[in-house]
Structure 1
């Protein structure tokens, strides 16, 4: 299998891995349905309202896990196994200082989220789609609150931390950074094309276009973290922590006030930190 994939063109390899993800998604979806219906025969698997309100854990196993494990993680892991000893010149493990650089980059991007959301809001208002996208986001958040909010069981909350937080963080990092970003960089040798291209796809597949620019900014930060640190794991850890934190905020409906609007005392230092990090790594030698 390894030799066959390596003999294909770079673009064809991407198509093959997408097909692997699609097939894995279907298989895991079938398995999850069979397991859940065997253990809980009374569950109406096609009635989403009943699943949301009465079977939130089973809902996550049926509708969240197959996509993360099948479509994202499986092709990412296969690509990792095929390429783990290849192209190391692009991703050599760096010293602790560059891991620290990666963490600071993520923090600066996280603190700039309200600023990125303001830009996204202005663009969507100009395009005339702002109200529609806001309604879609409100509906999506309301469904998640039904699933893991205060009225849901503590068990559902814990499973959400694991599935939406940890599993999603691992799956997305292996799919979008370890596979897509690495594949683009190795075969184009163009860092910023690979960073922006993988981040664009990352944001596109979240289907949350009212936050498209913030999600893409996260994708850029995570790709640079992988490139600079030489390891996918700093991104996995911080991505998972970010997801888990959002689950916590949704559960308790207490998103921090500073995330609701732009505050100069946060935006200015975060921007200076981001500019300093970029200068140290990419502009200083020039």
Structure 2
């Protein structure tokens, strides 16, 4: 197929194409992991988890959007995914925004976990709770390391690769399709964030992850560079790796303080204020750049 084969197709067709490519690579990952698992019998459980996540990130979240954008748009990949180097102030404000919104995300996460389904859906809620507990056990085993090598691998896989892959997928391709389809930037960002949160299958963290997706969506649109949400996403995940209490950082006063004050309303208020100011700065940059582009165009 030629580049941009499906450029003039409907939004539904483009989303369906992305979904099909996603499912193809998901199936390929399952087959590949079945082949590799017997060969990993001598590996530690956490290392097997890292290998699994690495393969998933590479095939499902990096190759999928790269192939999809090739089929969807005729313009060069650098332009379709907006792989332009961002201005340093915008990048810094993006990092500050994602770091400062963390207390609010943590508070929303605690609130989300307290939500309950109607009594008639009790069995579904119990399945969701069991799924969350399983995911929590897996995450703790992965993050609970005692050496620099494993810690570095966690940063590379959970922060860097996930940041690149998920932003290529959900902001670079899916969000662009939805914005063009709905002819509304805000709705495109919202629905991309909903899908971004839903695909993680962590139901009691759905709302905070959706909010995070919305933030990353606006960072992408306003900065006009995919690297801003990628680095912001990687920063968010890296903070989780760094600040999760485990045997590697046991006794660290800063981490113990963060864990203790995770839902401190004062920190949430201050963080939210800094976040709002950071996003305003990025929005102002977007407005200035839009005015410059309009002037040059005229």
TM-score normalised to structure 1 length = 0.76
8 Å CA contact 1:185, 1:194 repeated in 2: yes
Structure 1 unmatched ranges of 5 or more: 45-50
Q: Deviations over 1:69-104 (max 9, x none)?
A: 222221211244454549x79969664444344333
1:193, distance to aligned residue in structure 2 (A): 0.5
- Matched with 2:101 is 109
Map of 1:48 onto structure 2: none
Structure 1 position 270, deviation (Å): 2.4
| Residue in structure 1 matched with residue 211 of structure 2 by the alignment | 217
Q: Which residue of 2 aligns with 1:25?
A: 26
Structure 2 residue aligned with 1:139, among 117, 134, 137? Answer: 134
Given that residues 174 and 232 in structure 1 are in contact (C-alpha distance below 8 angstroms), is that contact kept between their aligned partners in structure 2? yes
Where do 5+ consecutive residues of structure 2 fail to align? 288-298
Shift of 1:10: 1.7
Q: Deviations over 1:179-219 (max 9, x none)?
A: 11122123323121011111111111111122111111111
Asked whether the equivalents of residues 197 and 209 of structure 2 are also in contact (C-alpha less than 8 Å), the reply is yes
Q: CA deviation at 1:24?
A: 2.2
Secondary structure of the 1:206 match is: coil
SS in 2 for 1:234: helix
Q: Judge which range, 169-178 or 112-121, deviates more.
A: 112-121
Q: Which residue of 1 aligns with 2:60?
A: 71
Q: 1:275 to 1:55 in 2, by over 3 A?
A: closer
Distance change >3 Å, CA 226–CA 157, structure 1 → 2: same
Instruction: For 1:207 and 1:217, locate their aligned partners in 2 and report how far apart those are by CA, in whole Å.
Output: 15
TM-score (ref. length: structure 2): 0.74
1:232 corresponds to 2:235: no
Distance 2:130 2:36 in 1: 35
User: Cα offset for 1:34?
Assistant: 3.6
Per the alignment, residue 6 of structure 1 pairs with 7
Q: After TM superposition, give the deviation of residue 147 of structure 1 in Å.
A: 3.8
Q: Secondary structure at the match of 2:263?
A: coil
What do the CA deviations read for 1:39-79 (whole angstroms, capped 9, x no partner)? 55xx29xxxxxx7xx34323432x32333222222121124
- Match for residue 176 of structure 2 among 178, 182, 186: 182
Task: Give the total of aligned pairs.
Answer: 270
SS at match of 1:27: helix
